[in-house]
Structures are given as structure tokens and as C-alpha cells.
Structure 1
Amino acid sequence: MKKILTTMLPSLLLALQLASAASASSTVQVQADSSSKQIVIEGTSDANQQVTVFVANPDGGIDYLDQIQADSTGHYQFSYKSRGGYGQYSVSVGGTGTNTPVKTNFLLSDATPTTPSTPTPNDDKPTSSFPPSNSDNVIITREKGSNGIEVAKVSVPAKALADGLSKAKELANGGQPIFKIEVKDAGSVKVELPAASIFDAGKTVPNGIISIQGKYAAYELPVSAIDVSKIAQSLGVGLKDMKLMVRIDPVSDAAITTIQGSASHNSTKLLTSPVEFSLIVEAGGKQQEITSFNSFVSRSLELPTAPNLSLTTGVWFDPDTGDAKFVPTELKTFDGKYQAIIKRKGNSAYGVIEYSKTFGDITGHWAQKDIELMASKLVLKGVTDETFAPENRVTRAEFATLLVRALGLADNPKAAAFSDVNGGDWYAGYIGAAVEAGLVSGFDNHTFHPNENITREQMATMVASAIRVAGVSVDVVGKQDTLLATFKDRGAISGWAASSIAQSVKAGVIQGMADREFMPSDTASRAQAAVMLKRMLQYVNFLNE
């Protein structure tokens, strides 16, 4: 069957005509790294002119499309990471002057592919650490927990936290400051942080991270992820009287039994012991657990062996059923050790599993590899256990559900305040979670139309929202018309969807159909949805390439 997520190379001319095109003296050259798929396109054109680049992948689809202004010497440079397959790519560059673009080609070869079981090396960022070896202010106590596991309790003084974050900012040299607290000789870790210092850090080091390193797990807490001032107001206490208790604990024996039973029933293999990450606010004898954040928070779990990238994923566990649910995960190596970097906006018990899933009706299908990948990650499910129905249309409720799973969000049926969504509907919790996260908004008459097939422009709008929720910005300011001019049916795209479609196209998540058309009102298949989800997760670094 012909793959339909394609736009043909001749459509480049429309985009280049909008920005105009290159002068006779224009040049272009490409540096392409086949292992990392990092592409650099640079050259010369007229000084200060707008330059548009279009890269077509080996299938003829859009691999990259962007526009910048050349500098005063006429030099321009584009840099991006290709998400296409191996083969020959076509590059066309145009600027102001004529309608004749400058063209070249480059090749991505699979002669030295990365082994599927080799995770990406983790960035070794400079950090400041606590406790310092000669500190007299370090307060560490040890006790036995109710399960017999030793608990190390670390109290971080306000000055130590402020100085540590300040030093981390200096070491980062414009990058992300990381203040590391290491306690690697105990099964459970409790770290007390002064709330007032975190509030101050939100002003002085707003992009700072407090990294708590335990024996087999770590917790990276952005100082901006918690509104400590708001919490203090809700508890009726002052910031100076409030402390944050960050905990990393093995889950209880009862929870392990439930999780293991669910894993056995669902044929999933646990690769790590589940770990509970929690954050509790304490003040004046009152406690409040923080279960959700305003941004994605990273945790890492150490893996015993090299993981299979296609079958391994981080998961969060349903506290009632023990069922594993997908959570955005990158698999990396650090100091020779394998790690799963888990990213989610909420606290829970987390672990890493291995799972393999396929369906009898996708053998030989153009999207088979992506369907199997997303099903093995627990994002996709079949219409039955044995069939996927790849060409069936996707409804609005189904696509909202897929995005909620892909972002690791928790159900919230109470937020699904639409007249055509009932609390008992299977999709109510997913739509509520999508509303709460800002993925969907419904129609003007307070309806959602959950069972209608989703259109391509509606899908693009949800995808663009998901990218934003993931904390990634896709800049299309001044480039929207160029991006959309790629499509012959540009005039059929609704005004409300234009920016989202431009963002989704630039991100490489959604491409055109055959014959240079976007077909905004057409519906999408389950196979197309699987491919879009994979591309979106990889674009925001929630899934390995």
C-alpha cells in the first residue's frame, strides 16, 4: 500500500516564491552526520535577504522547512536533526530576486548504524554538590523504616541551598544550573529543603534544578516547578516556617505484589524494582502532599543491563490496579551505567518494563514498525488483542486519549465539562485530562463531538498543543505563510488552525498528502496517528530516536 503522509518535491517552488529566491551568486553546502542525523546547511546569498530552505526526504516528504535572514555579508546557516530514513535527501534554497532555487543533495547512510540496544550518552553537565566534604552545617540522620530499610534524612540549611544554586549558576555558564544532593548509601532518602530558599531561587536562579541522587534512583526538581508561595497561603503559614520533604523510597511489599501480579497478567517484564517519588510540604504541624507540577519533572532509574530501545520504557503504576502506564522516557548511558530518564508532571511509583506487542493485521503495512513501537510502549492499543485495524478512522475522543497516554497524564473525568461527554463514557477521564492540560478546548456550544472522526487540521491543532505542553516552543513567527505555501490547498486551511499546522509541519510531525495537498478537512487513519505520535514524542525528547 502506498504511504500517504507525503508531499512531493515540486511543492518547494511555492514556498520559495513567497520568500522570492536566490541571486545568481548564491551558494549552498551541506554537512550531514549519518550517525547522529545532525544536518547543517549553509552558504551565501545577497546581504540581509530572507532565505528559505526546503529539504525533502528520500520518500519525497518534508524533512525540514524554515526561513531566516542572511547576515550583512550574505552568509546564512540552518541546523536541524533529521527524522527521516536513510537515503538521498534533496535541498533547495531560495531568497529574494528570482524564482530559481539553488539545489544540492546529501546522503544519510546506514553503513554504521547505532545498535538498538545502545542508549544515548547522557550530557555530563557541571554541577555543584551537597553535602561538601568539610561542611559543619550538614545534618544527616539515619533510621530504620517500617519495612526495615535504612532511611537517610538530609537537612539542607538555607545558606547551603542558596550558595549551592548560586555556584551551580556560575558553573553552568549560561546553561542549566544543577545543585546535586548525593545520598547513595541508603535504601530510602529524605531531603528537607527550606521553602523560603526555593522561593528566592525562583527569582535568582529560575532555571535551576535540585538533583537528589539516591542509591539507584534520582529526582531532578526544578525550582520553578512548585509555587511555594501559593502553598504557604493555602496552609496559612509563612514561607520561613515551611519545609519541603523530597522522598525516594522503594514501594511497599503490598504494592510490589499488586504490580507483579499485573505484570504477569499483561505479559510485561519488570526491569527495575518500582520506586516511589514523593514531595510533602510541612509547616506548623500540617502536611500537604504535592502530586502534580506545572512542568515536566525528571526522575532517573538505574538499569541492570543494556535496554532494548524498541521494547523498553518507563512507566508509572496505577496505585489501585498496579497496571503499568506509559510515561515519557529517554534511555541513556552515564558513567558506563544505563539509565531511564522518566519525565512526568506528577508524582507516583515508577519503574521500567520490557514489553513486545504486534498485531496480525499490520504485517507488511507501511507503518508496521511505528505501530509496534508505540504499542510496545503502551501508548497504542488494538481494537482487539490481535488486531489493530490500521486503516480505521480515528475519532476526536480516541486521538485525545492517545495524546494523554503519550504525555503520561492521569485521568480526570471531572474536567470533561462538555454536554456530550458523560462521566460514565470510557473516554471521559482522558478528555478531562486533555482539557486540564490544555490539549483540547471543544466547540463554542460546550460540546466536544467525541465520536466524530478527527480532521487533519484538528489533529494538527492538538499536536501543536501537546508540543507546547511538553515545554517545547516551535517558532513560526514570520514563517507561517512560507510553511503553509508548500500546500496547493493552502486556502482550504481554517484560520484558527493555520498557526498550529505550521508548527506541526515545521516540527516534522505532520506532513502533506500526495499531490502537494494538506487536505485539512480529511480524516486520519489509526496508522497515521501512530506515526504522528512517535514523531511528536521524539521531537520533544520524550522518546529515543
Structure 2
Amino acid sequence: MKSAVVKKTAQVTVMMLIISVLMPVLAFAATGFSNLTYKNNSVSGTVYSDTPFTEGAQINFYDPSGNLVGTTTTSATYNVYDGVYYNYSFSGSPDVLRQTYLDLKEVSSSVYGRVYDSTSSGNSGGGGGGGGGGGIANGSSITVSSDGTIDAYALKNALDQYDLVELKLSGDVALIPAKALVDYVSDKNKKLKISNDKGTYTLPLHVLALEDIATKLSTTVDDLIIKVGIAAASEADVSDINTAASSLSATVIGNAVDFTLAGQAPDGTSQAIDLGSNYISRTIPLTKEANSSQSTAVVYDPTTKKLSFVPSLFSTEDGTGVAEIKRNSNSIYTAIELNKSFADSKGHWAQSYIDLLANKLVIDGVTDTSFEPERNITRAEFAALVVRALGLDQSVGSSSFKDVSSSDWFSSVVGAAVNAKIIDGYEDNTFRPNQPINREELAAMVVRALSYAGAKPEVDASQQSSLLAKFTDAGKIVWAQNELAVAVQAGIVDGVTDTTISPNTQATRAQSATMLKRLLTAANFIN
């Protein structure tokens, strides 16, 4: 008898495990419609209820004017703990079915779904459950209505099946229910691609610390909304962008788009989401074909009304030029074209690097016509270049160095570089900003920047010895042996000759430009 009971218990356990694998319980799912499909003049779908009702419940179909056009009944498929999935289907006129409202009145409060305009090829729509959410699900994409609402069940169902799910916006905003993302934030392969005619925003789910975001907004993950906005910049901002570009002798070649990413509580309170060092891709369409060596995406600062470099790649999609922007914060972005050169750099071995980075607003000349490529560069000057190359927000971070005052021109860039762990000071708590930087220090900053960008190659002790062995002066490296080895491995640092690396030699502006260009290439931040 005992053996039979154990055997029966084991069978039940196995069955429950199988069910749980095939259909995970949706902790957030209330009664609602999902998987709405229009195909071959028939609408079919599923009703899930966490409060099981009588099999054969009636579903009413209404046209957009509210007229009853037909009814059908549900049939139970299987139980999932305390919930039940019910199937249904309804056939009728294509003109009616392409825009039909569904009403289920078996539960205490009615729930509604909607089959949106589709075709007989089988586009499907996920309806609302419990009065919330919307969108048309079609495989790995969901069309989002103009109010931005998204059905949590439809989104979770898509993420169960696909690593990349596209949210096609009818308006400028997506209101993503965080409870639909909970199971996927630890998976680095899961992404949402939010798009409209103004641009796209690719959001890896692993960058969202949902619990932290909810806590900051004094709400729960179940009630949290992740709000993504892709909107055209205002006319005033577009005018100021054109003025800023003109002052640089540049031409605007892209639409100005305002990207936002925020957590939102039920009461409407919102807060921008901190992306840390995670560079998020977004794209904007271009108004003309871009020459990547003379073009760059830029971020517009409404306070200073200035344009600054942001990492960006240029390509063509479906015959239209596109700029892919990579940055770990959100703002207004556009793209410009510039053809800059310096008289004293023509014919110099680093001219191509200098011209390229000048066109991308990463480096400045000493004057409009001179770069002084062989002049030494200070620690503060190079810190500023690295901060620009990474597109860092200079309003974030501060330093406590006793020789860096808040009134110094380099105060904000030093603060941003400290915050990103790109620079540190000396043992006496000084930064020595006006001291010329040597090649060892310069290589260390570049490698830390590469690490911040997530592109640093790993070099173990054995590889380090091998990489530095060819340099007869490697013994003169004071402290940055690993950083220099990594820089050599990444192709960022060359020897001054085939056999010398000159770690203690003061770096020049030309050498700095060269290392920055190689840094940006290694991080896939320019093309």
C-alpha cells in the first residue's frame, strides 16, 4: 500500500513538473484574453483565468459601434495550479472580424480583448486582461497603440519564444509592464527593440535592476512601468541644434530625436533609469548618405546649447542612411558632417587620426588652423579627451583631489573620469593636472577606458611577459606592466621602435590622438 502511494505521488509530481515546463505560471496574469489570431475568416484565442469559471462561458463579439455581431463559448484545456486556460474560436464576415471587440462576462468584472485590423495571412493580436494593456502580437513583434500600453501576457509570451522582441510604436512612447520582464533580466540574450518612424531603441533586459528602480519610486515591480520614449525634438531645440552646428562649420545630416528611459510608478511619478557603464544602442535616420570619416552622431545639451561627440556607427538600411548611437545615458541626438583639418598636421604621420577625431569633435586644435601634433599633452588634457571619446556625462561624478578646484576648466572631466574609474591620483591625494603625461600613464588611462566600454581583452601573467619581452626597455615600466601589455594586445600601443616602448617618455598630442582612435575602433564606437 505504501509503495503504491509513493508511486502515485511520484507520477503526480512528474506530471506537475511537465506542466510547469510547458506552461509556466504567470504570477501577474489575471483573467484576460491573449493570443488573439485572425486567420481564414476566423478569430481564435485563449482566455486565462486565475479564478476558474464554468466551462462553456459565453464570449460576445461586438463591432466598433458596439453592436453585437455574434457569440461563442469557451472550452477548458488544462488547469495550471489555481488557473485554467480556455480556448475559443468564432467565424464570420472578414469585415466584422478585422475589427472586433470581445467581452467575457463570466467573472465578477468584465474583461475585454480586441482583434485589430489584420489580414488573412494570420497576424495575431494580444488583447487586454483585467482592463489593462494592448497591442497586436505577431511572432517576435508587438504593435503598440498610440497610448503606449502593452499587454503583459502578450509580451511575456513573446519573450518566452524569442531573444529579440520588437515593440512597434504607433506613437512616441512604450509603457512596458515590468512584471512581464522579471523572468528575463538575468538573461543577457533577451532584448527589446522599440521602434517608430523616428528611430529605434534596443534595450537589453539585463541592464534593468527592476527591484532597485521600483524601490526608488516607492512601488513594487508588479506595478512598475518601464517607459521608453522616442520623440522628435522640439522646434526650438532643432533651431538651436542648427545654430550650434553652424558655429562648428558643420552640416546637420540627421533628424533630432529625444530618447528617454525611465521607471514610472502608478501615480505617474517617474525617474530616469541609471544605465551604469552599459552602452545602449539607438538609431536615427539620416537625411543624406554619410561619409563615416567626416560624420558623427552628437548629443545636444539644452542647457549649454552645445553639441558633443557620442560613439556612433554609420550604415545603410533599406536604402536609407542610419546612425547607430551607443551611449549609457539618454538625451537629444542627431548627426552632423564636418570636414576639418590643420595646416601644421598635413603630411604628419598621424594626420589621418587627427583629421578623423577633429571631424568627430573628440579633439580640438590649439587654434582653428593648428594642432601642434608634437607638443606634449597634460594629464588633465588627456583626461578630457578620454571623457569625450567615451561620450561620458560630465555632470556626473566629482573628485576630491586637493589640486583640482571646482573652478578649474578640467574639474568636470576629472570628476567624470574618476566616476568611471579611468583615473586615480597620487598617494598624496593630488592629480597633478598640469603635469605632462607619459606613455605609461596614457596607456593605463586608455586601457581603463577600454574596460569601461566592455571591450578590454584579458591578458594573464604569461601573456603579459610574452607581449613585453620584445621591448628591451620593458624593465623601465614603473607600475603599469599589465596595462601596457593589454594595450599592445589590443593594438592600441606600438613601440616607439621595434624594440623599445619608452614608458617614461612624455606623450605627444599626435600619440594621444592615435591611441584614442584605436581605442574607439577596438570598442566598436566608430567606423
Cα distance between partner residues in 2 of 1:153 and 1:466: 40
Whether 1:293 and 2:279 are equivalent positions in the alignment is no
Whether 1:182 and 2:175 are equivalent positions in the alignment is no
Residue 210 of structure 2: aligned partner = 228
CA distance 1:238–1:515, change in 2 (3 Å): closer
Residue 480 of structure 1: aligned partner = 464
Residue 136 of structure 1: aligned partner = 126
1:267-416 → structure 2 map (5 Å cutoff): 267-290=249-272, 292-294=274-276, 295-412=278-395, 415-416=398-399
Q: Which moved more, 1:327-336 or 1:155-164?
A: 155-164
Give the secondary-structure state (helix, strand or coil) at the position aligned to 1:221. strand
Cα distance between partner residues in 2 of 1:283 and 1:365: 57
Deviations 1:340-385 (A, max 9, x none): 1100010000001101111121121111111011001000001112
CA distance 1:413–1:472, change in 2 (3 Å): closer
Contact 1:235–1:286 (Cα < 8 Å) also in 2: no
Contact 1:291–1:347 (Cα < 8 Å) also in 2: no
Cα distance between partner residues in 2 of 1:214 and 1:248: 7
Pairwise CA distance, 1:462: 0.7
Whether 1:261 and 2:243 are equivalent positions in the alignment is yes
Give the secondary-structure state (helix, strand or coil) at the position aligned to 1:415. coil
Which letter does structure 1 place at the counterpart of 2:391? Answer: G
Q: Which moved more, 1:328-337 or 1:484-493?
A: 328-337
Picking from 392, 410, 413, the partner of 1:430 is: 413
CA distance 1:161–1:413, change in 2 (3 Å): closer
Pairwise CA distance, 1:515: 5.2
Residue 494 of structure 2: aligned partner = 511
1:89-104 → structure 2 map (5 Å cutoff): none
Residue 515 of structure 2: aligned partner = 532
Which letter does structure 1 place at the counterpart of 2:303? Answer: D
Pairwise CA distance, 1:281: 1.5
> Mind listing any 5+ residue stretches in structure 2 that lack a counterpart?
1-117, 136-144
CA distance 1:244–1:487, change in 2 (3 Å): same
CA distance 1:167–1:414, change in 2 (3 Å): closer
Cα distance between partner residues in 2 of 1:370 and 1:540: 16
Picking from 477, 488, 493, the partner of 1:493 is: 477
How many positions carry a matched residue from both structures?
A: 393
Pairwise CA distance, 1:321: 2.9
Cα distance between partner residues in 1 of 2:274 and 2:381: 24
Cα distance between partner residues in 1 of 2:344 and 2:182: 54
Give the secondary-structure state (helix, strand or coil) at the position aligned to 1:224. helix
Picking from 147, 160, 175, the partner of 1:153 is: 147
Contact 1:220–1:298 (Cα < 8 Å) also in 2: yes
CA distance 1:448–1:412, change in 2 (3 Å): farther
Give the secondary-structure state (helix, strand or coil) at the position aligned to 1:254. helix
Greater Rg by CA: 2
Give the secondary-structure state (helix, strand or coil) at the position aligned to 1:181. strand
Contact 2:372–2:509 (Cα < 8 Å) also in 1: yes
Cα distance between partner residues in 1 of 2:361 and 2:175: 35
Contact 1:292–1:347 (Cα < 8 Å) also in 2: no
Cα distance between partner residues in 1 of 2:146 and 2:252: 26
Whether 1:162 and 2:156 are equivalent positions in the alignment is yes
Which letter does structure 2 place at the counterpart of 1:136? Answer: G
Which letter does structure 1 place at the counterpart of 2:465? Answer: D
Residue 86 of structure 2: aligned partner = none
Pairwise CA distance, 1:413: 7.2
Which letter does structure 1 place at the counterpart of 2:305? Answer: G
Cα distance between partner residues in 1 of 2:154 and 2:506: 57
Residue 90 of structure 1: aligned partner = none
Pairwise CA distance, 1:273: 2.0
Residue 433 of structure 2: aligned partner = 450
Cα distance between partner residues in 2 of 1:529 and 1:498: 19
Contact 2:189–2:204 (Cα < 8 Å) also in 1: yes
> Mind listing any 5+ residue stretches in structure 1 that lack a counterpart?
1-130, 142-150, 169-176
CA distance 1:412–1:216, change in 2 (3 Å): closer
Contact 2:464–2:482 (Cα < 8 Å) also in 1: yes
Give the secondary-structure state (helix, strand or coil) at the position aligned to 2:455. coil
Pairwise CA distance, 1:519: 1.1
Cα distance between partner residues in 2 of 1:410 and 1:291: 14
Contact 1:359–1:388 (Cα < 8 Å) also in 2: yes
Contact 2:185–2:207 (Cα < 8 Å) also in 1: no
Pairwise CA distance, 1:212: 0.6
Which letter does structure 2 place at the counterpart of 1:178? Answer: L
- Which structure has the higher relative contact order (CA within 8 Å, separation 6+)? 1
Cα distance between partner residues in 2 of 1:310 and 1:288: 39
Give the secondary-structure state (helix, strand or coil) at the position aligned to 2:213. helix
Contact 1:140–1:152 (Cα < 8 Å) also in 2: no
Deviations 1:371-417 (A, max 9, x none): 01100100000111221111110111111110100011111375122
Which letter does structure 1 place at the counterpart of 2:325? Answer: I
Pairwise CA distance, 1:140: 5.3
TM-score (normalizing by structure 1): 0.69
Contact 1:483–1:505 (Cα < 8 Å) also in 2: yes
Cα distance between partner residues in 2 of 1:136 and 1:405: 44
Which letter does structure 2 place at the counterpart of 1:534? Answer: K
Cα distance between partner residues in 2 of 1:457 and 1:196: 48
Residue 64 of structure 2: aligned partner = none
Give the secondary-structure state (helix, strand or coil) at the position aligned to 2:400. coil
Residue 419 of structure 1: aligned partner = 402
Cα distance between partner residues in 1 of 2:208 and 2:401: 30
Picking from 172, 177, 183, the partner of 1:200 is: 183
Give the secondary-structure state (helix, strand or coil) at the position aligned to 1:293. coil
Residue 226 of structure 2: aligned partner = 244
Contact 1:413–1:430 (Cα < 8 Å) also in 2: no
Pairwise CA distance, 1:198: 2.6
TM-score (normalizing by structure 2): 0.71
Give the secondary-structure state (helix, strand or coil) at the position aligned to 2:166. strand
Deviations 1:46-87 (A, max 9, x none): xxxxxxxxxxxxxxxxxxxxxxxxxxxxxxxxxxxxxxxxxx
Contact 2:379–2:436 (Cα < 8 Å) also in 1: yes
Deviations 1:412-455 (A, max 9, x none): 37512211100011111111111111111222222111111111
Cα distance between partner residues in 2 of 1:207 and 1:451: 45
Residue 94 of structure 1: aligned partner = none
